[in-house]
A and B are shown apart, each in its own frame.
Chain A
Amino acid sequence: MSISLAPATLPDAQRQHALWSTLSMLGLALLSAVVHSYNMFGFPLYLGDEGIYMAQAYAVARLGSLTPYPYWYDHAPAGWILIAAWSVLTGGFHTFGTAIDGGRTLMLLLHVSALVLLFRILLHLTQSSLAATIGGLFYALSPLTVVYGRMVLLDNIMVVFVLAGTLLLVNYDGQLWRLFVGSLLFGVSVLTKESALVLLPVLVFGVWTLVSRQHSSFARGIWLFGAIATISLYPLYAALRRELIDFSLSSPLSGTGNQVTLVGAVLWQISRSGGAPWDAQSDFFQALTGSWLVRDPWILGLGLAAACWNLVRGTTRIRLIALLGLVSWLSLMRGGLVLDFYVIGLLPFMAMNIGLATARVAGPGRAPGVLIALLAVTGVLGFTNLSRQSEIFTLDMTTTQRQALAWVRQHVPADAQIIIDDDLWVDLRDGPAGQPSFPGAHSHWKVANDPAVYRDLFNQDWRNIDYLIMTPGLEEIFKREQDRLPYQAWSHSTPVARFNVGDAAIEVRRVNSAGIAIKDTLRASYQSFIENHVREGRVIGNGEYTDVRDQAGAMLMAVWNDDQPTFDALWRWAQFRLQAEDGRLLHTNAPGVTPQTFADANADAALALLLAERRWNDASYGREGLRIARALWASSVVEIDGRPYLAAGDWAIEDERIIFAPASFVPYAYRMFAAVDPEHNWWWLLDNTYQLLAQVSATDLGENRSAGIPPTYVALNRQTGAIKLDQRGLPGAGTAFESDAALTYWRIALDARWHQDGRADSYLKTAAFLFDEWARKGTLAGRYAHNGTVQREEVSLQLYSAVLPLFLTVDESAGHALYATRISTAYTHTPSGVRWGDGKNVAEQRWAWLTSAFYLDILDNTWNN
C-alpha cells in the first residue's frame, strides 16, 4: 500500500496509519542522520580504500578516465562515477574539507536513503509503522552501520541500490515499470560492487513467485533483461577496450603477461581466499569475533535468528527478505576474502528480518503494548550499545591526517615525488585554491606494483622518490616486499615530521637523496628570494642598508641559476653603490659609516664575475672580477717575511695584530684568481691559509682545550704571523664557533668537491666534535666556545646550512639526515612565495639555497669546464 494515494479517499484509520508511518519515517531519518553525522569527519580514521574511491571519482570527474592509474577491473565503476557526479554537483572535491570528507557527506545521504528504503519495505510488508520503526532503529543505532556507514565504500552505495530494487519488487502491485526499474537498480548495484550478484537468485525467486499471472512471462522476461543488460555493460566496456579476456598465452593468471582483463581480474578476486569460516584464523572468523560481535552482537544475532524463522514461517515476500539475509551471510562464509567492512551488505537485511519477526510476534491484532515495549527495548539497547562506544562520537582520529596534509602542503616542494597511502591522494594531487598540488604523489600500491610507475617513472631507483607519508600499517606492508621501491625508499629515509593521536601516528619521511623535489626547492626559493629580497638590483637586507655579503652572495646565486638579467642588475647596483675607486667593494651603502672591506664578500663577488664571464661568454665580467680580486689582495693581504697572510678585511689589519677570519678564506676562488692575476701569488696565499686554518682550529686559543672547530676570528701577530696568545678584544663572536665561522666548512667542502685537495679533506675530518654532538644530541647548538662548550642552545638554520657540505663529505648518511630534518623542513610555502625558516634573515635565505644547491650538486665550476 502506498502512502501517496489521495488522502481524501482514505478512511480515517488508514489516514492515521499513513500519518504515523510518515512521522516515524521522518523521525528515524532525522535520528540516523544525527547519529551518523556527529563526528563523521573525525571517526573512523580515513581508510586507504576511501582514498582509492575518491581518487577514482576524481579521475572520472577531472581526468576523463575511470581511474588515475590504468584500470584493471578490480571493481565495476558505477559507485565512483556516482561519487564523481556528487563531487561535481557540490562544487568540487574540497567543498566539505578533505576529499574523503566530501565522500563521507555523500555516504550520509546514502545512509539516510537506505534507512528510508528499509523502512518502506518493512512498512509495506508488515503494515505496521511500529515494526518498521523497530527494524529501522536496529539499523540506525547499530554501531556497525554507523562506523562502516560513514566510510566512503562501494558497499555503502551498493546497499542503497539493492534496497531500492528490493522495494520495487516487494511493493509490486501489477505494474511492469516497477519491476523493470527495480531490475535496472539491481543491475546498477552489481555495477557498483559485484558482490551484489549473489543476491540475483533470491531476487529472481521473488520475481518468479510474486508477479501476476496475467503478465508473468513478460514480467519475468523484462526483469531478467533489465538486470542482465545493465550488468552486461561492464563486460561490454571491457570488450570494447579489448580487455574482456586474454587469449594469448601470457595471461595475467600465468603471471607473465601485463595484459589486464576483466575475466582475469574476476578470477583473481574469487581466488582471494580467506580461509574456512570455522577456522579461527580465517578472515571471516577474525572479522566476526574481532570486530563485528564486539561492536554489535545484537543486530547480527537477532537478525540471523529472525531470518531463519522468517524463512520457515513467512509468506513469500517475507521469505524473500529472509533469503536475502541468509544468502548474504553465506557469501561472507564461503571462505573468500573477508574485510571488516563487508558486513555493510549484511546489516540492512538483518535489521529488516528483525522488523519482520517482531511484527509477527506482536503484529497488529495481538497486543499493541508488546510492540511499543519492544520499540522501547530496541531504543534503549541501541543507545546503550552506542554509549559504550563513545569514541565514535568523540574521538578525532583524522586530525593526524589533516595535520600531515597541512604540513606537507607547507613544507614539501610541489614537484616532490611522494609515496602515499591512498587516503590523501586527491587532496595532494589537486590542492584547493591557494594550496599547492602534488602531481608526484603516488599510491604506494602503484609504486610497488605498477610498472608504469616504478619502471617508467622512477626507473626502479629509490633515489627518484623524495618523500613518504606513512600511515599506520604501511610499514608492515612495505616490509613484506623488500625488493620493491616503497621498502627501499622507506629504508633510505629519515623521519621529518610526525603527528599522532593515541597510537595512530602519521609520519612524513624524506628520502636520503637529493632526489627530484630539490630542483623545485631551488627554483621556487630562488624565485621567491629575488621577488622578496631584491629591489632594482639591490639586496634588501635586515636593515635599511645593504650588506655587501648579501649582495655578493646574491650574485653567486644568480650566476648559478643562469639568470643574467638579475645578475646584471645586482652587479650594476654593487658597482655604483658599493665599489670604491680602487676596485674594492665596501661593506655597506650606509652613509656616514667608515667604509671597510670584507675579504669574503670581495672574493665571492670576484668569483661570481669570473664565473659569469665563462657562463655568458662576456670578457667584461672577467675584467671586473680581476679588478676586485686585485683590490682584495691590495686591501686584505699582508705579507710578513714574504709570506702572504689573509686578513678578514682592510679593517682587520692593525698595528699589532692581524685579525683572521677562517670563514673569509675562499680557496676555490683563489685558484681562479691565480689564473687571471699572475701579479699576485694566490697559490702561496692558498697554501699558507690552509696551514693557518688547521693551526687555528687545533690550537686552544687561550681556552683549556680546542674542540677542533674554526673560530670566528683569531688574532695573529702582525710581525711574526704567529697566533697571538692573547685573544682578547676581538670583534663579534670572537673565537667562538657560530653560524659565520661554520661557513668555513661550507667553503672548504666546496674546494674539496671541486678540486679534490687533500688538505681540504683532512681539514674536514678534524670536525669530529660536531659529528659527535650530532650523534649524541641529534642537534647542533647555535654557538660553541672554541673548547666545545655550548654558549647558546638556540639552533641556527645558517649554521646547519653551513655544515651540511661537511656532513655530506665526511658522513653522507648524517648529511642526508641533517638535510631532511633541518633544512628541508625549514622550506615553507607562504602566500607570498617560498621562504626558509621565518624568512626574515637574508643570509639564512642565501645559505639555505646555496647548501641545497650543494646538496643537489649543481654548483658547477664553469671556470674549469
Chain B
Amino acid sequence: MSGFEVALVVISLLLLAQVSFSSYLMLYAWNDARRSDDFAAPKEFVPPQKSFTVLLPARHEEAVIQHTIDGVLRANYPRELLEIVVICRIDDPGTIQKVQEKIVELVDQGVHNVRLIVFQDLPINKPHGLNIGFRNTHNEIVTIFDSEDEIHPDVFNVVNTVMVTEGVNVVQSGVQLMNFDSKWFSALNVLEYFFWFKSRLHFHAEVGIIPLGGNTVFFTREIINRIGGWDETCLTEDADIGIRLSQMGERIRVVYEDLFVTREETPPTVEQFIKQRTRWNQGFLQVLQAGAYWSLPKLSQRLLAVFTLASPVLQAFTTFYIPISLYTMLFVQMPPLVAMILWLPAYMLIGQYVLNWIGLREFVRAHNLQMPPLMWLRLLIAFYPFQILLGISAIRGVYRHLRGTNNWEKTKHVNAHRGVTA
C-alpha cells in the first residue's frame, strides 16, 4: 500500500469511529427501552414553590417581543412567583418602545411582574445582557428565554417539580425547532435539535459534562453567584457555563418531554444558518481553547468535552476529505480491501440518513404534525447539501477563530415556527 492509501485508510477508520460514536449519541435515549422513564419529565407536578426570574435579552426584536412576553405570561404558574425582565441596550429604541408599550398595556390589565432593563455599556452581546439582568433581579431561580421562544405553559411546573423533588440546582429542558417544512434544510436542522436535546444531552448528563443550551435552562441564583455569572467574552456563553458547572461537579438534570419543549424556529435563510452555526462553532473552539474542561475530574468527561468542542474542526476536516474520498472511490483503482474501507464512511452516512428519517417520523408523530408527501426523498436530497452547509460553517468557524474575529453574528427571527403549532 502506498502512503496515500494508508492515510486514506486511517482517516476512513477514524471517520467511521467518529460517526459511529455520534450515531450512538443520537440514539442514546432509545438505546434501552427499559430506561425511557429516566429521561422523561415528571408525570405529576408538586405545588408551585420556587420563584422564577425569566431573563429575556432582546436586540432588534421589535417584531416579536410583545408576543414573547405574552407567551411567558400564559404560563400555568402563580404570577407572584414569576418575574419577567426584558433586557435591551439603549441603542435599540424600536424594541424598547415595543416593550414599554406592552408594559403599559399589562399594567392596565393589572399585571405588574414584567420589567424592562436598559443598559448602555459594552460589549453588545447576550452574556453581558444576562449579567445585567441577573444583577437586577431577585427570584430564586433564574432562567433564560430568547425572544423567538414559544414556551410551554407548564414548563415552570416541570422545573419546580424536578428541583423540589430531586434537589438539583440546574435544569435544562428541551428546546425544539419546529418549522421542519419551511426550507430545504429545515428538517435536518430540526432533527439536530431533536437528537441533541432528546437524546445526546442525556448522555452528557450521565457522563457529567454538558454544553448547556442558550435558553430554557434554569439555574438557582446561588449557583450563578458561585460561578460568577456568564463569560462576556464568549460567543457561546451557554456551552461555557455548562462546562464550568460540570467542572464544579454540579449535577445537571436534563428534561425532555415532547410536550414541554420550548419551540423555536430554524434560521430563515442559508446565510443566517451559516452565520449562526459559525458563531456556535467559533464559541465551541473558544471554550476548547480556554481549556477549562482539562481540569474535569474524570477522563471520560475530558474526552467527551474534547469530542464535543472539537467537532467543528472534525466537521471542517471532513468537508475537505469527502471530495477527495469521493474522487478516489470513483476514479482511482485501489486494492479491493482498501477501496472497501474507503466506503465505510459512506455506509455510515447512509446509516445517518436512516436515523434522521426515522427521527423525523418520530418528531412528526410526537407533535401530531402532518408528514408532507415525498418527505423521505426531500430529506435524502437535502442530506448531503446540508452536510456541506455544516462544513462551510465549520470552516468559517475555524477560520474566524484562528483570525480572532469575535463579533456576534446575530440570528434573525421571523416567527416562522409560530405558524406550525398544531
A interface list, Cβ under 8 A from B: 173-177, 211-212, 214-215, 217-219, 221-222, 225, 229, 233, 236-237, 240-241
Q: Report chain A residues within 8 Å CB of B361.
A: 217
Inside 8 A of A211's CB, which chain B residues have their CB?
33
Q: CB distance B33 to A214 under 8 Å?
A: yes
A240-B336 contact in complex given A221-B354, A229-B347, C-beta closer than 8 Å? yes
Judge if B339 is at the interface, Cβ distance under 8 Å.
Answer: yes
> Closest CB-CB distance, A525 to chain B, in whole Å?
43
Question: When each residue 342-362 of chain B gets 1 if its CB lies under 8 Å from chain A and 0 otherwise, what string results?
Answer: 010001001100110110011
Assuming the contacts A174-B34, A176-B31, asked whether A229 and B350 have C-beta atoms less than 8 A apart, the reply is yes
Task: Give the shortest distance, in Å, between B136 (CB) and chain A (any CB).
Answer: 45
B1-52 contacts to A, CB under 8 A, are 27, 30-36
Q: State the Cβ distance, B111 to closest chain A Cβ, in Å.
A: 41
Determine how close the nearest CB of chain A comes to the CB of B364; give it in whole angstroms: 11
Nearest A residue to B28 by beta-carbon distance? A176
- Residue pair B30, A214 in contact (C-beta under 8 Å): yes
Given A218-B27, A229-B351, do A237 and B362 touch, yes or no (CB 8 Å)? no
How far does the Cβ of A175 sit from chain B's closest Cβ, in whole Å?
A: 5
- Do residues B30 and A215 form an inter-chain contact, with CB atoms below 8 A? yes
| Inter-subunit contact A237/B336 (CB<8 Å) | yes
Nearest A residue to B362 via CB reads A217
- In this assembly, does B340 line the interface, its C-beta being within 8 Å of a C-beta of chain A? yes
Q: A221-B354, A221-B355 are in contact. Are A236 and B31 (CB under 8 A)?
A: no
Give the interface centre of B35, B336, B361, B362 by most chain A CB atoms within 10 Å: B336
Residues of B within 8 A of A219 (CB): 30
A237 contacts across to B, CB distance below 8 A: 336, 340
Residues of A within 8 A of B36 (CB): 214-215
Contact of A225 with B32 at beta-carbon distance under 8 Å, contacts A176-B27, A236-B343, A240-B336 already known: no
Query: Which 9 A-B pairs give the minimum distances between C-beta atoms?
Result: A174-B33, A212-B33, A215-B30, A174-B34, A214-B33, A240-B339, A221-B358, A217-B358, A214-B36
A240 near B30 (CB under 8 angstroms)? no
A225 to chain B: which residues have CB within 8 Å? 350-351, 354
B27 to chain A, nearest CB (A): 6
How far, in Å, is A743 (CB) from chain B's closest CB? 60
Q: How far does the alpha carbon of A177 sit from the alpha carbon of B32 in the complex, in Å?
A: 9
CA distance A225 to B27 in the complex (A): 14
In the docked arrangement, what's the CA distance between A176 and B30, Å? Answer: 7
- 30 A-B residue contacts at CB 8 Å? A174-B32, A174-B33, A174-B34, A174-B35, A175-B32, A175-B34, A176-B27, A176-B30, A176-B31, A177-B31, A211-B33, A212-B33, A214-B33, A215-B30, A215-B36, A217-B361, A217-B362, A221-B354, A221-B355, A221-B357, A221-B358, A222-B354, A225-B350, A225-B354, A229-B350, A229-B351, A236-B343, A240-B336, A240-B339, A240-B340
Min CB distance B420 to A, Å, is 22
Complex interface: chain A residues within 8 A of B34 (CB): 173-175
Contacts of B334 in A (CB 8 A): 240
Given contacts A221-B358, A222-B354, 20 further A-B contacts (CB under 8 A): A174-B32, A174-B34, A174-B35, A175-B31, A175-B33, A175-B34, A176-B30, A212-B33, A215-B36, A217-B358, A218-B27, A218-B362, A221-B354, A221-B355, A225-B351, A225-B354, A229-B351, A233-B340, A236-B340, A240-B336
Asked if residues B340 and A176 are in contact (CB atoms below 8 Å), the reply is: no
Q: With a CB–CB cut-off of 8 A, which chain A residues contact B343?
A: 236, 240
Instruction: Name the residue on A nearest B361 (C-beta).
Output: A217
> Is the Cβ of A218 less than 8 Å from the Cβ of B336?
no
Size range of the chain B interface in the assembly: 20 to 34
Instruction: Tell me, in angstroms, the Cα distance from A212 to B357 when the chains sit together.
Output: 19
Q: How many whole Å from A2's CB to the nearest CB in chain B?
A: 13
**Once the chains are docked, how many angstroms separate the CA of A221 from the CA of B358?**
7
Give the distance to chain B from A28, nearest Cβ to Cβ, in Å.
Answer: 31
Complex CA–CA separation, A414 to B36 (angstroms): 68
Cβ of A794 to closest chain B Cβ, rounded Å: 61
Taken together as a complex, chains A and B put the C-alpha atoms of A174 and B32 apart, in Å, by 5
Shortest beta-carbon distance, B15 to chain A, in Å? 16
Chain B residues with Cβ below 8 Å from A214 are 30, 33, 36
With CB as the reference atom, state the residue of chain B lying closest to A224.
Answer: B354
Residues of A within 8 A of B347 (CB): 229
Inter-chain contacts of A177 with B (CB < 8 A): 31
B residues 291-350 touching A (CB-CB < 8 Å): 334, 336, 339-340, 343, 347, 350
Q: In this complex, what residue of B is CB-closest to A66?
A: B336
CA–CA, A241 to B336, complex, Å? 7
Min CB gap A458→B, angstroms: 29
Q: What residues on A are CB-neighbors of B350 within 8 Å?
A: 225, 229
B343 (CB) vs chain A CBs: closest residue? A236
Closest to A233 in B: B340
A259 to chain B: closest CB distance in Å? Answer: 17
Residues of A within 8 A of B35 (CB): 174
Q: List, in ascending order, chain A residues with CB within 8 A of B357's CB.
A: 221
* Cα–Cα, bound, A192→B69 (Å): 64
A177 to B24, CA, bound (A): 10
Q: Which residues of B contact A217 (CB under 8 A)?
A: 358, 361-362
Name the CB-closest residue of B to A241.
Answer: B336
Expressed in whole angstroms, the Cα–Cα distance for A241 and B357 within the complex equals 32
Max chain B Cβ within 10 angstroms of own Cβ: one of A211, A212, A218, A225: A218
Q: Could you tell me the distance between the alpha carbons of A592 and B35 in the complex, rounded to whole angstroms? A: 107
**For A212, what are the chain B residues with a Cβ–Cβ distance below 8 Å?**
33
Q: Please name all residues of chain B whose beta carbon is closer than 8 Å to the beta carbon of A241 when the two chains form the complex.
A: 336
B residues near A236, Cβ cutoff 8 Å: 340, 343
A240 to B328, CA, bound (A): 12
369-402 of chain B: CB within 8 A of chain A: none
Instruction: Give the distance in Å from the alpha carbon of A222 to the alpha carbon of B355 in the complex.
Output: 8
Q: Please, how many angstroms separate the alpha-carbon atoms of A233 and B343 in the complex?
A: 9
Given contacts A218-B355, A229-B351, are A176 and B32 in contact (CB under 8 A)?
yes
The distance in angstroms between the C-alpha atoms of A212 and B362, with both chains bound, is 14
Write out the residue numbers on chain B whose beta carbons fall within 8 Å of the beta carbon of A240. Answer: 334, 336, 339-340, 343
Chain A residues near B355 (CB-CB < 8 A): 218, 221
Provide the bound-state CA to CA distance between A211 and B31, in Å.
12
> For B32, B33, B336, B339, which residue has the most chain A Cβ atoms within 10 angstroms?
B33
Give Cα distance in the complex from A218 to B28, angstroms: 11
CA distance in complex: A237, B343 (Å): 10
Complex Cα distance, B336 from A237, in Å, reads: 7
By beta carbon, the residue of chain B nearest A213 is B33
CA distance A221 to B356 in the complex (A): 11
Nearest-neighbor residue (CB-CB) of A220 within chain B? B358
In the complex formed, the residue of A with least CB distance to B357 is: A221
Which residues of A lie under 8 Å from residue B362 when comparing CB positions? 217-218
Cβ distance B407 to chain A, nearest Cβ, rounded Å: 41
Known contacts: A176-B27, A237-B340, A240-B336. The answer to whether A215 contacts B33 by CB under 8 A is yes
Closest chain A residue to B35, Cβ basis: A174
By a CB distance below 8 angstroms, the chain B residues around A173 are 34
B218 vs chain A, min Cβ distance (A):
27
Taking a contact as CB atoms under 8 Å apart, the answer to whether A218 and B30 are in contact is yes
The listed residue (A174, A218, A229) touching B358 by CB distance below 8 A is A218
- Report A673 CB to chain B, min CB distance, Å: 65
Beta-carbon nearest neighbor of A211 in chain B:
B33
Q: Closest CB of chain A to B328's CB: distance in Å?
A: 12
A240–B342 Cα gap in the complex (Å)? Answer: 11
Across-interface contacts of A229 in B (CB, < 8 A) = 347, 350-351
Q: Which B residue's beta carbon lies closest to that of A240? A: B339
Cα distance A217–B343 in the bound complex, in angstroms: 26
Complex-state Cα separation, A214 to B31, whole angstroms: 10
Query: Which residue from chain A places its CB closest to the CB of B353 in the assembled complex?
Result: A225
Minimum CB–CB distance for A184 against chain B, Å: 12
A856 CB to nearest chain B CB (Å)? 42
User: In the assembly, what is the distance between CA of A211 and CA of B36, in Å?
Assistant: 14
Residue on A with the closest CB to B338?
Answer: A240
Name the CB-closest residue of A to B26.
A218
Chain B residues within an 8 Å CB radius of A218: 27, 30, 355, 358, 362
Contacts of A215 in B (CB 8 A): 30, 33, 36
- Which residue of B is nearest A221, CB measured? B358
Task: Give the complex CA separation of A216 and B299 in angstroms.
Answer: 34
